[in-house]
A and B are shown apart, each in its own frame.
Chain A
Amino acid sequence: MRSPSDASRPFLWRLRHILPYYRQNWGAFLLGFLLLVATSATAALIPYLMKLATETLSDPAGGEALTIHVSTLILVALLNALLRIRSRTHIFAIGRQVEYALRNAYHAKLLSLDAAFFNREKTGDLVSRGNNDILAVRMFIGPGFLQVANTVMVYAVTLPVMITLNASLTLLALLPFPIILGVTRLLTTRLYRLSRVVANRFGAFSAFVQEGVAGIAVIRAHAREEDWHHRFARETQEIYTAQMRHTRLQSLFGPMVVLAGGVGGWILLLVGGQEVMAGRLTVGDFVAFTGYLVILVWPTVGFGWILTVLQRGLAALERIGQVLDTEPFSLLPPAEPPPAAPNQTATPQPGHHPTHRAEITPLARPCPTIAIRHLHFAHTEPVLHDIHLEIPAGSFVGLAGRIGSGKSTLLNCLARLYPVAPGTILLDGQDLLSLPETTLRHTVAMAQQESFLFSATIRDNLILGQPEASEAQAWEAARLAAFADEIARFPNRMDTLVGERGITLSGGQRQRLALARALLMNPAVLLLDDIFSSVDARTEAIILDNIHTLAQARQRTILMVCHRTAALHRAECIYLLEKGKIVANGTHATLMASAPLYQGLHQQMARHEALESLQ
């Protein structure tokens, strides 16, 4: 994932996506730091007060002083608690705020990117970046800062006090601490690697189970259960082995910390004990030392741990950066008013457009003519070749052709889902690429063959593009798509949940909901991509009637891709595509008479339909 050149870039460059947050929050970081100083200072007082109390307790004459020490101890402890809570919440809050802002920025970026980007990336990976990697960055900013600052402060405050009490004892008692630091650092990096191994094993295991379940019919049909038992046993054994390798190391962690603290305490007892017996140290000093040792253990462990967290945070930042640095395909600046020379920063990006309703700039006429000039388009292989079309305003145009002839691609280009060369698609003479996103989406609507439904209610899916549509408008759109009666029969009507990808609806219902959604946009140009493939012929006829009525009444341009040539009967003109080129055009009747390819498509379809209706 990481290119070698990135590692050699300057550190600040690697932080570029979060530096602004540091700049914005420098005051908050400073306050957090000061709070930490105060926390450490009060924390360091506590063992000292215990020392005083112990000494007073051993002194038979110190009754008064003891009460003072005890009450001071309680007060300082409470103050320390307040400061600690305040400093931790304050610093963690900065991390959380940055996490929030970064996640929103990441989300907005994803919304603005186009097909080319998504074809490269895996969904799961993009989601994981939005979740886990942003989490890792938060750890970098919040706990990362806290641990580093805290460790430094605790040492800065505690060490001088200890050294003042007894320098050589301090050095000896702290002897195990560099070992804690080193071991923690070593363990966390190793453990991180091993836990990735476990996670990968686990992923492979899940994939194995999923494949087994999916292919169970084959396993059963060939009576290969025995073999799968063995393979499964092997997989579970491997998880076990990986897990145990991780455990053997991880289990060291806690006991090791306790051991190091214990050894420190033991050295204290060994050396400090001699000193006390020799009268060079009081029992109170001994108690204080024990207290300081306890204070130092966890920040030391935390420091070793945080180095790994910082490392992971940097890696995560890079993965997020890869998305944040991607630019969507450029659009031209709007044609009205005439733009200055194109300039990188002035180029509007989809998704960055102002989205207020007031700013929709309507086209010159309510229903535009569409002109396609020498349109070529390729994914990796050429799909469309020199398409040249003039579609008058308000006409009903059909597109026919075999699977893979480029019909859907053409519609996707018209909907600006795919990048085309400037000047190849014009709406009323205006370049498609220069239209503001808002204008375009309210002018051109498309119902796709495999439209995506969100796991929400029917209503939410229906009013997707027109959130402020009235209930009556929603029902009207559903009626036009011949779906209203069925919705009315659902127990929860418009509030029926459709499940993930609309799983609870039938294929035909999904297509009609997607059509209703496009109709509700009330667009001047309606692109219909094979929307009848799962709809029965009778319903199809009803929908076609409705669309025609609309087209005639409200001056609408309709482009329809359809495999059922019957649906194209009424089209004013049908363009026949073959291997990305327009090879013929005409009405249904003329094409039936003149184009063998069209005839073939028609007969194939007619036969298929007859077969389906046979009983």
Chain B
Amino acid sequence: MMPPVLAETEETRDGNFFNAEPYRLLWRFFRHARPYRAWVILALLLLPVSTLLQLWQPLLIQQAVDRHLLPAQPDGFSGLLALFLLLIIGQFVVGYGQTVLNTLLGQRVVRDMRRELFAHLLAMDAAFFARNSSGRLTNRISNDTEAVSQMVSAGMINLVGDLLLLLGIAVGMVMLSPRLSLITLLAMPVIVLGTLFITRKMRTVQREGRLLQARMAGHLTEEVEGRETVRLFHCQANNRATFDRMNRAYLNTALESNFYEALQFSFIDTTSTVVVALLFWYGGAMRDGSDLSIGVIVAFIDYIRRLFFPIREISGKFTTMQSAITALERIFALLDTPSAIADTGAAIPPPQPIRGEIAFQQVWFSYGDTPVLQEIDLHIQPGERVAVVGPTGAGKSSLIKLLNRTYEPQRGCIRIDGLPLEQFPLARLRRAVGMVQQETFLFAGSIADNISLGDPAITPERVRQAAQETGAMAFIEALPQGLHTPLMERGVNLSAGQRQLLGITRVLAFSPRILIMDEATSSVDTLSERLIQEALEQLLERRTAVIIAHRLSTILHADRILVLSAGRIVEAGRHEVLLQQNGLYARLYALQFQTG
């Protein structure tokens, strides 16, 4: 029954080189590499040097054999030996330098690309994150960029190097003996086609193997996560059979790939030996009155051994390039997605300081095709405390999130202190409008870091003071390292009540003029409940506040209560007045807030 986990998806597809798209992507990518132009040029310049260092060696051997060894002529031999040693050491140094340089280049370009991607993500709007899972976005930043780095480090520059090496070998051979080169040239189609055929086969089989491996991993993951279900429905036997099928299929691809691997290994060895044998044979046949010497044959043997390496590499590099290009496609697609919330306000500085007056004028907001808020008209005085109540799905949370431009209305205008929201620089707006959410999101890091969020303007004293004002300090001091106690991921080592207290403390530390808040519904014990109430009172003091109220005390303390239903404000006023109207509020109140 098991799933086709990780089958052909956008993540596993490979690009192809048969249309213009890859070249357009590559060109765009090259522009990203621009700051490192100098490094690229250096890497390219090293290529001919390394080719020369490699290809000179067989020539020296030929000279050694023909001029010194055979005629027993020691004069100048030591010079040749010295040059030879120099070439060997040079090859080592240049080879090392090339690999380091290529990796450095790849890693730097990718580091920049990652930063660009992350900066882009930070500027994206809330709706974007609702559409894209965090796993997917993380994949773009970590894995796709890694594929691109592979392309730079192992792909592009080395591809040029391999081609250069092939060319160099051809030149070297022709220089040594045009006729023997002809023999090798005749063998070339066999060598190239054979190598290409084997590497291609191998890659297909290995790809299949990787896919099966991913499927087995997916199967195992599901089985571990769904272990109780597996047990309850007694499908162990069935699952074993399914897993065995995958495992066996994997075994078959593995055996096949083993064969091609061994074939590749032997093909190169054997073909080069056969070519060498043919050289001997041809050398013997044309011996009379020809330019052929033993040294030339020895040098040829060397060249032929070197010939296979670049041929094998080239086809591998195309695979690297292919997966990098699909990665680039996804990366650029992400970079090209614009944010729905544009920071347009930088130009006009708003009056200082913000008083906290809020006005909604005929505001309409829909989420996709679903209308959420309609014809909202609302005026809130500085320092006023407004509670928002209403049934589920009435648009309460959208209403408050319009205020810090998490969302943007399609129609109408929202003003703070008489200025439209778009005229505030985003950062300033969001520092002015503090938000307390139902669930406090905590980052891995210390408690102090989670309160200040790394803002240098919020000093340790300010953090301490805020924690004291909200009463969070009581539980923080009980922790082993106090404010410096590290929190585990999402703050799982704290209770729900403590997390809420921290959320309130955080906003208090930022001291915004306006507060928007979605009161937590999750139940906490009575003691925490009282602490949270007290913390809230601290936070709400002298601030304009719009609160989605879930607690009785909140609505009783509000200056005004707004009743939202199906995206419209249907009732507004103080508690007693609304109760007397005996409308939606009265019913809501009876159900939600009257305990008993």
Chain A residues in 8 Å Cβ range of B229 = 448, 451-452, 454, 464
Interface residues of B (CB under 8 A from A): 1-3, 5, 57, 61, 64-65, 68-70, 72-74, 77, 81, 84-85, 88-89, 91-93, 95-96, 99-100, 103-104, 107-108, 111, 114-115, 118-119, 121-124, 126, 129, 134-135, 137-138, 141-142, 146, 213, 216-218, 220-240, 243-244, 247-248, 250-251, 254-255, 258-259, 261-263, 265-267, 269-270, 273-274, 276-278, 280-281, 283-284, 287, 294, 297-298, 301, 305, 391-392, 404, 406, 426-428, 430-431, 434-435, 437, 441, 443-444, 453-455, 489, 506, 510, 565-566, 584, 587-588, 591-592
By the criterion CB–CB under 8 Å, are A244 and B103 in contact? yes
CB-defined interface of A57-75 with B at 8 Å, one 1/0 digit per residue? Answer: 1101011001101110110
By the criterion CB–CB under 8 Å, are B2 and A454 in contact? yes
By the criterion CB–CB under 8 Å, are A259 and B294 in contact? no
Q: How far is the CA of A450 from the CA of B273 in the complex (A)?
A: 66
Q: How far is the CB of B396 from chain A (nearest CB, A)?
A: 13
A252/B284 contact (C-beta < 8 A), A89-B259, A209-B118, A209-B137 known: no
Chain B residues in 8 Å Cβ range of A287 = 298, 301
Q: How far is the CB of A564 from chain B (nearest CB, A)?
A: 16
Chain A residues in 8 Å Cβ range of B270 = 77-78, 80-81
Q: How far is the CA of A451 from the CA of B225 in the complex (A)?
A: 11
Chain B residues in 8 Å Cβ range of A262 = 57, 88, 91-92
Interface residue? A381 (CB, 8 A): no
A244/B134 contact (C-beta < 8 A), A236-B114, A251-B100 known: no
Q: How far is the CB of B324 from chain A (nearest CB, A)?
A: 17
Which one of A73, A220, A441, A460 has the greatest number of beta carbons of chain B within 10 Å? Answer: A220
By the criterion CB–CB under 8 Å, are A57 and B284 in contact? yes
Contacting A57 at CB < 8 Å: which of B85, B294, B392? Answer: B294
Q: How far is the CA of A237 from the CA of B118 in the complex (A)?
A: 14
Q: How far is the CA of A255 from the CA of B95 in the complex (A)?
A: 6
Q: Which residue of B lies closest to A520 (CB)?
A: B233
By the criterion CB–CB under 8 Å, are A256 and B284 in contact? no
Which one of B278, B294, B588 has the greatest number of beta carbons of chain A within 10 Å? Answer: B294
Q: How far is the CB of B327 from chain A (nearest CB, A)?
A: 15
By the criterion CB–CB under 8 Å, are A224 and B455 in contact? yes
What 14 additional pairs, Cβ within 8 angstroms, besides A214-B134, A251-B96, A417-B228? A63-B284, A73-B280, A99-B251, A103-B216, A221-B434, A229-B115, A236-B115, A237-B111, A250-B99, A262-B92, A273-B69, A454-B3, A501-B225, A612-B392
By the criterion CB–CB under 8 Å, are B240 and A240 in contact? no
Q: How far is the CA of A57 from the CA of B421 in the complex (A)?
A: 91
A210/B259 contact (C-beta < 8 A), A107-B240, A266-B88, A465-B233 known: no
By the criterion CB–CB under 8 Å, are A50 and B301 in contact? yes
Q: How far is the CA of A123 from the CA of B283 in the complex (A)?
A: 65
Chain B residues in 8 Å Cβ range of A58 = 70, 294
Chain A residues in 8 Å Cβ range of B213 = 131
Interface residues of A (CB under 8 A from B): 46, 50, 53-54, 56-58, 60, 62-63, 66-67, 69-71, 73-74, 77-78, 80-82, 84-85, 88-89, 92-93, 96-97, 99-100, 103-104, 107-108, 110-112, 115, 118, 123-124, 126-127, 130-131, 202, 205-207, 209-229, 231-233, 236-237, 239-240, 243-244, 247-248, 250-252, 254-256, 258-259, 262-263, 266, 269-270, 273-274, 276-279, 283, 286-287, 290, 294, 350-351, 355, 412, 415, 417, 437-438, 441-442, 445-446, 448, 451-456, 460-461, 463-465, 467, 501, 517-518, 521, 607, 610-612, 614-615
Chain A residues in 8 Å Cβ range of B221 = 123-124, 127
Q: Which residue of B lies closest to A229 (CB)?
A: B119
By the criterion CB–CB under 8 Å, are A221 and B435 in contact? yes
Chain A residues in 8 Å Cβ range of B254 = 96, 99
Q: How far is the CB of B217 from chain A (nearest CB, A)?
A: 5
Q: How far is the CA of A130 from the CA of B300 in the complex (A)?
A: 49
A212/B247 contact (C-beta < 8 A), A57-B294, A277-B68 known: no
Q: List 28 A-B contacts (CB under 8 A).
A: A54-B280, A57-B283, A62-B284, A73-B280, A80-B266, A81-B270, A100-B247, A130-B216, A212-B121, A216-B129, A219-B453, A222-B431, A222-B453, A223-B426, A226-B427, A229-B115, A240-B108, A244-B100, A252-B96, A262-B88, A266-B84, A270-B81, A276-B69, A448-B229, A452-B226, A456-B3, A518-B232, A614-B391
By the criterion CB–CB under 8 Å, are A350 and B70 in contact? no
Q: Which residue of A lies closest to B305 (CB)?
A: A294
Q: How far is the CA of A286 from the CA of B70 in the complex (A)?
A: 11
Contacting A73 at CB < 8 Å: which of B108, B231, B259, B277? Answer: B277
Q: How far is the CB of B421 from chain A (nearest CB, A)?
A: 14
By the criterion CB–CB under 8 Å, are A415 and B232 in contact? yes
Contacts across chains A and B counted by CB atoms under 8 Å:
389
Q: How far is the CB of A334 from chain B (nearest CB, A)?
A: 16
Chain B residues in 8 Å Cβ range of A89 = 255, 258-259, 262
By the criterion CB–CB under 8 Å, are A104 and B84 in contact? no
Chain B residues in 8 Å Cβ range of A266 = 81, 84-85, 88
Chain A residues in 8 Å Cβ range of B238 = 467
A227/B454 contact (C-beta < 8 A), A104-B247, A221-B404 known: yes
Q: How far is the CA of A517 from the CA of B269 in the complex (A)?
A: 59
A88/B258 contact (C-beta < 8 A), A279-B72, A417-B232 known: yes
Chain A residues in 8 Å Cβ range of B72 = 276-279
Q: How far is the CA of A82 from the CA of B265 in the complex (A)?
A: 11
Which one of B91, B228, B244, B259 has the greatest number of beta carbons of chain A within 10 Å? Answer: B228
Q: How far is the CA of A58 from the CA of B95 in the complex (A)?
A: 36
Contacting B92 at CB < 8 Å: which of A67, A80, A97, A256? Answer: A256
Chain A residues in 8 Å Cβ range of B248 = 100
Chain A residues in 8 Å Cβ range of B443 = 211, 215, 218
Q: How far is the CB of B425 from chain A (nearest CB, A)?
A: 9
Contacting A454 at CB < 8 Å: which of B69, B222, B426, B587? Answer: B222
Q: How far is the CB of B539 from chain A (nearest CB, A)?
A: 14
Q: How far is the CB of B110 from chain A (nearest CB, A)?
A: 8
Contacting B244 at CB < 8 Å: which of A67, A85, A104, A456? Answer: A104
Q: Which residue of B lies closest to A138 (CB)?
A: B254
Contacting A254 at CB < 8 Å: which of B99, B276, B283, B584? Answer: B99
By the criterion CB–CB under 8 Å, are A455 and B70 in contact? no
Q: Which residue of A lies closest to B72 (CB)?
A: A277
Q: How far is the CA of A89 from the CA of B257 in the complex (A)?
A: 9
Q: How far is the CB of B75 from chain A (nearest CB, A)?
A: 11
Chain A residues in 8 Å Cβ range of B234 = 355, 437-438, 441-442, 465
Contacting B142 at CB < 8 Å: which of A123, A202, A221? Answer: A202
Q: How far is the CB of B54 from chain A (nearest CB, A)?
A: 9
By the criterion CB–CB under 8 Å, are B280 and A247 in contact? no
By the criterion CB–CB under 8 Å, are A456 and B2 in contact? yes
Chain A residues in 8 Å Cβ range of B233 = 441, 445, 464-465, 517, 521
By the criterion CB–CB under 8 Å, are A259 and B258 in contact? no
Contacting A205 at CB < 8 Å: which of B77, B103, B142, B227? Answer: B142
A244/B141 contact (C-beta < 8 A), A70-B277, A118-B224 known: no
Contacting B591 at CB < 8 Å: which of A80, A501, A607? Answer: A607
Which one of A77, A97, A213 has the greatest number of beta carbons of chain B within 10 Å? Answer: A213
By the criterion CB–CB under 8 Å, are B134 and A222 in contact? no
A210/B135 contact (C-beta < 8 A), A89-B255, A111-B223, A465-B234 known: yes
Q: How far is the CB of B455 from chain A (nearest CB, A)?
A: 6
Q: Which residue of A lies closest to B302 (CB)?
A: A290
Q: Which residue of A lies closest to B232 (CB)?
A: A446
By the criterion CB–CB under 8 Å, are B454 and A108 in contact? no
By the criterion CB–CB under 8 Å, are A455 and B222 in contact? yes
A107/B591 contact (C-beta < 8 A), A112-B236, A221-B430, A467-B238 known: no
Q: How far is the CA of A72 from the CA of B61 in the complex (A)?
A: 26
By the criterion CB–CB under 8 Å, are A131 and B122 in contact? no
Chain B residues in 8 Å Cβ range of A270 = 81
Q: How far is the CA of A231 from the CA of B115 in the complex (A)?
A: 10
Q: How far is the CB of B129 from chain A (nearest CB, A)?
A: 6
Q: How far is the CA of A308 from the CA of B444 in the complex (A)?
A: 36
Q: How far is the CA of A438 from the CA of B235 in the complex (A)?
A: 10
